[in-house]
Amino acid sequence: MTLEKFSVAFCAFALFVCVGCGGGADDGPELGLVTGTVKMDGVPMANVTVTFTSEKGQASFAPTDGEGKYELIYRDNKKGAEIGSHTVTIETPLEAPPGPGYKDPIPAKYNAETTLTAMVKEGENSPFDFDLESK
């Protein structure tokens, strides 16, 4: 085999391997970008966790910043959430198990007994704002 034929064969093989392997942008479900703000009684909530869980059980989550803003992240640091219906929870993250008598400052209707839902569509889904009520 001549060097020229070898080079063409090698390039064709390399292209086949690159195109045929997994790990590309098409791996996983289609995602919609989700951003928004979380407030409690009109006041931005910093350092809480927002989680969107799809009907298939896949979750995207994000912490809020100092202004209560978040941007959801899916697996492998991909931005967004699966297209479709989601259950939404908003909770205070803990670094250790809570002690006796601990009560999350966020009412259970937004986390353990959530009533929040969201429909994620293709493209940008913003803002998905949540204005929680403390009572």
Average pLDDT per consecutive 10 residues, the chain (135 residues; last block may be shorter): 39 40 62 97 97 94 98 95 96 89 90 94 92 93
* 79 CB-side CA count, 13 A: 9
pTM across the whole model = 0.77
Show the beta-strand stretches assigned E in 73-115.
81-82, 84-91
Terminal Cα distance for the chain, rounded: 79
CA distance 118 to 52: 8
Asked if 76 and 45 touch (Cβ cutoff 8 Å), the reply is no
Domains and CATH numbers, the chain: 31-95+103-132 (2.60.40.10)
Asked if 50 and 61 touch (Cβ cutoff 8 Å), the reply is yes
* pLDDT digits 0-9 by tens, 72-101: 999 999 999 999 999 999 999 988 888 888
Between β-strands 84-91 and 49-54, what pairing exists: parallel, antiparallel or unpaired?
Answer: antiparallel
